[in-house]
Structure 1
């Protein structure tokens, strides 16, 4: 495809990404207001976020596998429709339970958008050239990520927070139309389709139990309790059964033999901690700005711009340089180091830390995440057989979402446990401040007793300063606990094999793999006629090659599919 054809095909995809990002971020700065208005507590606040991440995590590998089997354009439109419709219904929520339920459906659609956008890019753009177009994706991501909170905060402050959930609907209609008209993908060759239903059920059950336990332990029940035992035991049993099923499934949801590939395995490890950095900081920075610095929803969106600016500017520059030079590893290692430093520095902030310093720390973290996040998917797509590209791409996204979900749930539980401790430590100061406020103080005390998240910028002095100090110290501790995971990312990317980037698209590489397999088969047939002994040796070599590069059109009906243990050399 020419540059013009690629840009035309990306139009609908970019609009779809913008819609999904906008619908997801438009409520981020409004969540403290939304949860407070719906009379939710800190646990409800965490679950409004965790529910979406949980559904995204579970659905991502399912969408990725479906992308290897069915029409990817239709799947993309379906995911977008589910995401935006559920977002619109969330706008009618009467309590946090309804809001959390709709956020689950948002996550199901969001998982499709996250997985399919990466897979579609690989269909039409080679790994080497993809950096040139990352600036477009970075711009759209920044526009949605920065613009969403700003628009959401403005709507919340001037109209009503419910309108945040409706704003993406017209954009979604345009996106679905553009995808239909402009996105043209190579057709998948027809083959026998088998959906791994047992794998879907077992993965969903295992991951859900694990994440629900992380979210509720320490608050709803003790960490060492019978409830912990059965939840953790059930999760382990379900995931063990999932592993056994995947090893035998003809079309596994996650091909476990991909873990033989060092690039894939190390990228998965790195993605887990990147997920914590990306999702955790976005969630708790909004709380820090509103609860520790007394900002309203609009101001909170403006105050988090430095992190998004770091992500946009640095990822765009890094992508262009990767395309120009064909070298990626130095950028990924540098990004991991910046991510780690940013998390440690954010762990030192207080409610009254100079905002220029906080902005610098946020920029540093955004730059690190921007250099690592998308490039991990790129290096995996470059290193695995193209038959498994959908599964491999979505697996990296899955583990990133898993890390984010576990991170937000665990860090949210830590925050929910730490805040009451700080309230108890400063009870005398709070009591004195409340007593000085008379009737107004009695109303505020009643809200504190119910556990409702306060709207800090509406609190009177001197109480406001005390509450800001409590939330500032609590959120900083969250970042400090998350920081060691950045070291895990740094170690994982440091050991990634430094493979050269392929200059071929997915379709071209599939054709190349088929030609190589056909050539090997023809050579084996010729050798069998001339030298039977060498034919036997060649047959063994062909069997090994097919394990690394399986046929693009799949196994013939009734025939056992060769194992798909990918080798490092399959990246072209």
Structure 2
């Protein structure tokens, strides 16, 4: 009897030690995942600062926009494919492959000898980036039960803030002291650390090689459809008029490809994006809210520094720091809401509060004019940041909780794709409205018009303008910013309304656990997903 008790006590002690070690092991894996996530987010921020130097050396100013467009296209088009491959063949191997592809693209981009090569190699880099973001989200979905995942939301929000604030500063420093090629080579040490850590400490259950054929036709149609959409949003109103033949042809191609994609997916044995996941109301609503959040967020990131530089006279070199009120607010709120989700298991209130704050923040920003102080604009940005903090991670959390484990990859990739497409639409539509308003206002007040390119003068260039023209330009930028944020506020109302229809489904993985037969997926089963520090 005593021996039995001692044995039981020993077993309990071992279980307690294992339970204590588990959070440490998870944190080690999460550190590796956050480094990989930082790679994908930091890249465009760094490269944007280095672009003037790159053009000065390689030439090809006419093709400058393709350096960013090629990366964006490859990322968006490959996102759902990476997610499905992870579901079919195992998350870890596919994620490591994505890191290698990204690093290969980085090396090749740093070695580019002309603009054509750089554009092609940036596409390779974007191909890997699509797998980085999806891999991080899907692996977190495998490792951490939804109820516990809220604890780590602040980490992801912090990485995003670090990329947006630090990217321009790091990019400028590297370009000035080491040369623009190191803007790409800087990815290598970070990528090597991520590769080593993921290989050593991440242990997921091995999947048997799927015998199902990859849905190549569906993948091709989806790629064509996404490419057409991104090109329409990138070129519309800038390279080509919205009513031009090129834009109309792209719209027709995109619609035809996506209709064909839906037809193929409904019949495929192993579809790239299983349509049945959209029958879940919560998943569909999270996709919509994610799209709208992406629309608003990247529009704000584009226009807030522009307003502060052109109207408030801030320095362009510190453009990342200009967003600090919004990003800090987003990070703090994301951390608090995540903790509350973990403690209570409740989450429906957060999309509602977040949607309301996002609408309020955008409408406040739409009131800014030439007399608005930096303190006032900072407070408005903090309101918008708080709204996004409630929404950014909760959309992925609820989406993953709404599907079975076997669909974790496509759930993560679909949610990421909708957010990416939202950002493309947001930058394009808000940008077109901004430029149009600036041109019209300059024509009315200054007797002249400006192009989309000259609507982005920095503080130094502004100081050289005659006072009357400078005042007219500042008024025009303020007017354009008001129009852009007002549109964003109207769009955000749809997300606020959608949040009321979210159904509060209990998050799996904490508290009293349902029986095995009741666990249909979305949470991590410790027997299915493990990490080890000493592997």
Partner Cα distance (1:36, 1:479) in 2:
34
Partner Cα distance (1:294, 1:93) in 2:
36
CA contact (8 A) 1:29 1:286 kept: no
Structural mapping, 1:486-505, within 5 Å: 486-503=492-509
Aligned to 1:372, which of 357, 370, 391? 391
1:11 aligns with 2:39: no
**Residues 50/471 of structure 1: CA separation in 2 closer, same or farther (3 Å cut):** farther
Structure 1: runs of 5 or more not aligned: 431-447, 518-547, 553-572
Partner Cα distance (2:240, 2:31) in 1:
49
Structure 1 stretch displaced more, 93-102 or 7-16: 93-102
**Residues 235/477 of structure 1: CA separation in 2 closer, same or farther (3 Å cut):** same
Deviation string, structure 1 residues 142-196 (Cα, Å, up to 9, x no partner): 3333222332344456665554333332211111111111211122244313211
CA contact (8 A) 2:101 2:128 kept: yes
Deviation, 1:465, is: 4.9
**Partner residue, 2:302:** 283
**Residues 150/367 of structure 1: CA separation in 2 closer, same or farther (3 Å cut):** farther
Structural mapping, 1:93-172, within 5 Å: 101-155=120-174, 163-172=182-191
Structure 1 stretch displaced more, 311-320 or 153-162: 153-162
CA contact (8 A) 2:354 2:389 kept: yes
Q: Residue 26 of structure 1 aligns to a residue in which SS?
A: helix
**Residues 84/410 of structure 1: CA separation in 2 closer, same or farther (3 Å cut):** farther
Structural mapping, 1:404-415, within 5 Å: 404-415=423-434
**Partner residue, 1:299:** 318
Structure 1 stretch displaced more, 245-254 or 138-147: 138-147
Aligned to 2:460, which of 452, 458, 478? 458
CA contact (8 A) 1:157 1:297 kept: no
**Residues 343/123 of structure 1: CA separation in 2 closer, same or farther (3 Å cut):** same
**Partner residue, 1:335:** 354
Partner Cα distance (1:94, 1:455) in 2:
30
Deviation string, structure 1 residues 460-491 (Cα, Å, up to 9, x no partner): 34445554444343333222222212111111
**Residues 354/89 of structure 1: CA separation in 2 closer, same or farther (3 Å cut):** farther
Deviation, 1:201, is: 0.9
CA contact (8 A) 1:25 1:149 kept: yes
CA contact (8 A) 1:268 1:399 kept: yes
So what's the TM-score if we normalise by structure 2? 0.83
Deviation, 1:249, is: 0.6
Aligned to 2:481, which of 465, 475, 478? 475
Deviation, 1:136, is: 2.9
CA contact (8 A) 1:57 1:399 kept: no
- Aligned length in residues: 497
Deviation string, structure 1 residues 188-209 (Cα, Å, up to 9, x no partner): 2443132111111111112222
Deviation, 1:287, is: 3.2
**Partner residue, 1:318:** 337
Q: Residue 477 of structure 1 aligns to a residue in which SS?
A: helix
Structure 1 stretch displaced more, 8-17 or 246-255: 8-17
1:397 aligns with 2:416: yes
Q: Residue 187 of structure 1 aligns to a residue in which SS?
A: coil
**Residues 427/268 of structure 1: CA separation in 2 closer, same or farther (3 Å cut):** same
Aligned to 2:365, which of 341, 346, 365? 346
Computing the radius of gyration from Cα coordinates, the structure with the larger value is 1
**Residues 7/220 of structure 1: CA separation in 2 closer, same or farther (3 Å cut):** closer
Partner Cα distance (2:292, 2:31) in 1:
31
So what's the TM-score if we normalise by structure 1? 0.78
CA RMSD of aligned residues (A): 3.4
Deviation, 1:119, is: 0.7
Structure 2: runs of 5 or more not aligned: 1-18, 525-535
Partner Cα distance (1:327, 1:360) in 2:
28
